[in-house]
C-alpha cells in the first residue's frame, strides 16, 4: 500500500498496529512521530515527516487497515475569524499607485502574518482558505507598504498526465523525486488593485527567489513549479506572460484522487522550470 508517496509493507503495517495498541497508549501526534522515527521517514533536512504521516494514518483508517485512537481535540475549522484581522483585510479608503519596479516580496514568517494571510485568502480568493499540511511557503506582495497580492506554494499533484508526459519519468522516478516539484496553490491579486502586468511581474519575481527560499526552509531545492488554472473561470494569461508552459488539461479529478472518486472542474496545467536541467533531477535513477 502507498500513502503520501511512501510504500508501506505488511510488516510496517503490523508495526503501526502494534504501536496503536501500545501501553500506555500513544495519542495521534505521538504515534505519528514514533512511526516516522521507527520507519526512518524523514524530510531531506532530517526532520520527521510527521504531518505527512498523520495524513497517511487517516487514509489507512479510511481504507480499513487500522483503527486510530480518538482525537484529543475536535478537528479545527479551516478558518477561524478573528476581529483583529477581519477589519485589516477590508478594502482601504484609498489604493496607492503600484510601481512595478518597487514591489516587495515578503515571506510569511510568524503567526500574526499567517493569520492576516489566511484572512485575505478567505475573504477575497474564490476558493477561500483551506488548511495545507506539509512543506509550504506563503508570501505577501506589497507596493508602498500596502498588500496588493498574495501567493502560496506547497506539495505538487501526485500525478497528472500532461505534466508527467512532459517530464517523461517512470512511476518509480516520480515517486522518488516528486518533492522536487512544488505547486502554486494560491495566487490572489486583491480585487481593488488595478495595475496592468502586475500578475506576470509578481510571478517573475517569485520564480527568481523561490528555490532559494525553499532551500533555506527545507534544505533542498525544487526544480519545477506547477499550477492548475480552473477553466473556464480563468485563461492562464498571466502565467503565459510570465513564460510558464501550458501542457494541457486535467481530467477533472482532485490533486490526490487516485481512486477516481472526485469530480472537479477541468483545469489547465502550467509549469515553470526552476533549473534548466530539471529533467536530470526528476528522472534520476
Bin 10: left if φ > 0, else alpha if -120 < ψ < 50, else beta: alpha
Given this model, what pLDDT does residue 186 score? Answer: 97
pTM listed for this prediction: 0.83
The Cα–Cα gap between 283 and 285 comes to: 6
Q: In a structure prediction context, what are the per-residue pLDDT tens digits for the chain, which is 285 residues long?
A: 888 878 999 999 999 999 999 999 999 999 999 999 999 999 888 889 998 899 899 999 999 999 999 988 777 777 788 888 998 999 988 887 899 999 999 999 999 999 999 999 999 999 999 888 778 999 999 999 999 999 999 999 989 999 999 999 999 999 889 999 999 999 999 999 999 999 999 999 999 999 999 999 999 999 999 999 999 999 999 999 999 999 999 987 655 555 555 568 999 999 999 999 999 999 987
Annotate the chain with three-state secondary structure.
CEECCEECCHHHHHHHHHHHCCCCCCCHHHHHHHHHHHHCCECCCCCECHHHHHHHHHHHHHCCCCCCCCCCCCCCCCCCCCHHHHCCCCCCCCCCCCCHHHCEEEECCCHHHHHHHHHHHHHHCCCCCCCCCCCCEEEEEEECCEEEEEEEEEECCCCCHHHHHHHCCCHHHHHHHHHHEEEEEEEEECCCCCCCCHHHHHHHHHHHHHHHHHHHHHCCCCCEEEEEEECCCCCCHHHHHCCCEEEEECCCCCCCCCCCCCCCCCEEEEEEECCCCHHHHHCCC
**What pairs with residue 268 in β-bridges?**
229, 249
**What pairs with residue 143 in β-bridges?**
146
**Residue 91 cell numbers, joined:** 478594502
> In 3D, which of 60, 45, 44, 46 has the Cα closest to residue 4?
60
Given this model, what pLDDT does residue 201 score? Answer: 98
The Cα–Cα gap between 212 and 197 comes to: 25
Q: Where are the domains of the chain?
A: 2-62, 98-282
- The fold for domain 98-282 equals Aminopeptidase (3.40.630)
Is the Cβ–Cβ distance between 246 and 238 less than 8 Å? no
Given this model, what pLDDT does residue 153 score? Answer: 97
Amino acid at each position: 500500500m502507498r500513502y503520501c508517496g511512501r510504500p508501506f509493507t505488511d510488516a510496517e503495517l503490523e508495526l503501526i498496529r502494534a504501536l496503536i495498541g501500545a501501553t500506555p497508549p500513544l495519542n495521534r501526534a505521538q504515534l505519528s512521530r514514533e512511526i516516522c522515527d521507527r520507519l526512518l521517514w524523514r524530510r531531506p533536512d532530517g526532520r520527521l515527516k510527521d504531518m505527512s504521516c498523520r495524513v497517511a494514518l487517516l487514509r489507512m483508517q479510511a481504507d480499513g487497515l487500522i483503527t486510530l485512537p480518538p482525537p484529543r481535540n475536535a478537528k479545527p475549522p479551516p478558518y477561524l475569524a478573528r476581529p483583529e484581522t477581519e477589519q485589516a483585510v477590508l478594502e482601504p479608503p484609498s489604493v496607492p499607485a503600484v510601481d512595478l519596479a518597487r514591489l516587495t516580496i515578503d515571506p510569511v514568517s510568524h503567526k500574526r502574518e499567517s493569520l492576516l494571510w489566511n484572512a485575505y485568502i478567505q475573504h477575497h480568493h474564490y476558493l477561500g482558505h483551506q488548511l495545507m499540511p506539509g512543506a509550504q511557503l506563503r508570501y505577501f506582495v506589497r507596493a508602498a507598504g500596502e498588500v496588493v497580492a498574495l501567493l502560496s506554494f506547497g506539495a505538487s499533484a501526485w500525478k497528472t498526465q500532461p505534466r508527467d508526459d512532459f517530464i517523461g519519468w517512470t512511476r518509480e522516478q516520480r515517486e522518488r523525486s516528486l518533492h522536487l516539484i512544488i505547486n502554486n496553490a494560491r495566487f490572489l491579486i486583491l480585487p481593488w488593485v488595478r495595475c496592468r502586468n502586475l500578475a506576470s511581474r509578481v510571478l517573475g519575481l517569485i520564480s527568481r527567489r523561490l528555490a532559494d527560499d525553499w532551500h533555506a526552509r527545507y534544505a533542498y531545492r525544487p526544480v519545477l513549479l506547477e499550477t492548475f488554472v480552473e477553466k473556464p473561470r480563468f485563461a492562464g494569461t498571466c502565467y503565459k506572460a510570465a513564460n510558464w508552459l501550458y501542457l494541457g488539461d486535467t481530467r477533472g479529478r482532485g490533486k490526490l484522487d487516485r481512486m477516481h472518486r472526485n469530480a472537479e472542474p477541468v483545469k489547465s496545467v502550467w509549469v515553470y522550470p526552476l533549473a534548466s536541467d530539471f529533467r536530470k533531477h526528476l528522472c534520476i535513477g
